[in-house]
Amino acid sequence: MASSDVVANWQLALPDGVHVIQFEHGTTSGKRVIKVDGKELMRKDWMFKLVGREQFDIGKAKCIISIEAVSGFAYEYTLDVNGKPLQKFRENQRKIQKAWNVIVDGEIKRICLEKDTLDVWMADKMVETRGEFTDTGVETHFYINERMVGRIVATSSGRKSKGIIHTLYVNDDEITEATNE
């Protein structure tokens, strides 16, 4: 594989983790290769049409890579996720989910709260939760493993523009929100 054929890399944060998407495009052969997290998802070795679109899924996310000629033999590559350009998708995700990275048995696990459904995901699985109303808001309890208990506390910010604040505690230690794109 010629490393010069790698034309685009994107990071996509989903409830099950941050995925790395790599796209190879042979501008003479038309070759197209899509890799997600280092695993080849799609390969087309010879294509006469050098521009176009390639569709693929990552979990429930529907992705499209668009290849457009911008001048001569220069091309532009864009990634759309669930019908939105990647940047718009990221902005929307920041509004509807909150994520934290937690070290579990020496590995980093991503814990994600989907704010609209209050589903909690750890790695690639939805976890069983138990909700509890408190004087200050709502707490969502769940097990990370046999030694670790998670608790997401939802409290009002007191300002309509900021909304509800979600904070994750693992064994009563506050966890900093993940900043991955």
| Residue 180 in domain | no
Predicted pLDDT at 168: 95
The total number of structural domains that make up the chain: 2
Q: What ranges make up the beta strands (E) of 38-176?
A: 39-44, 52-58, 61-71, 74-81, 84-85, 97-104, 107-114, 119-122, 125-127, 130-133, 137-145, 148-156, 164-170, 173-175
Q: Does residue 1 register a pLDDT over 50?
A: no
| Residue 59 in domain | yes
Please give the share of the chain, as a percent, with pLDDT higher than 70.
97
| Residue 121 in domain | yes
Predicted pLDDT at 4: 63
Q: Please identify, among 37, 59, 82, the residue that sits at the C-terminal boundary of a domain.
A: 82
Q: Is 120 exposed, middle or buried (0-12, 13-18, 19+ CB in 10 A)?
A: buried
Same domain, 54 and 12: yes
| Residue 91 in domain | no
Same domain, 108 and 76: no
| Residue 89 in domain | no
Alpha helices by DSSP H, listed for the chain, are: 86-96
pLDDT single digits (tens) 84-119: 999 999 988 888 889 999 998 888 888 999 888 889
CATH number of the domain to which 116 belongs: 2.40.128.180
| Residue 9 in domain | yes
Q: Find the length of the chain.
A: 181
Domain membership of residue 149 as a residue range:
97-175
Q: Is 25 exposed, middle or buried (0-12, 13-18, 19+ CB in 10 A)?
A: buried
Q: Does residue 2 register a pLDDT over 50?
A: no
Same domain, 102 and 161: yes
Same domain, 162 and 133: yes
pLDDT single digits (tens) 57-83: 998 899 999 999 888 778 999 999 999
pLDDT single digits (tens) 134-150: 888 889 999 999 899 99
What's the mean per-residue pLDDT of the chain? Answer: 88
Q: What is d(CA 112, CA 15) in angstroms, rounded to the nearest whole number? A: 5
| Residue 56 in domain | yes
Average pLDDT over residues 25-39: 89
Q: Please identify, among 27, 51, 82, the residue that sits at the C-terminal boundary of a domain.
A: 82
Q: Are strands 137-145 and 148-156 parallel, antiparallel or unpaired?
A: antiparallel
Predicted pLDDT at 180: 55
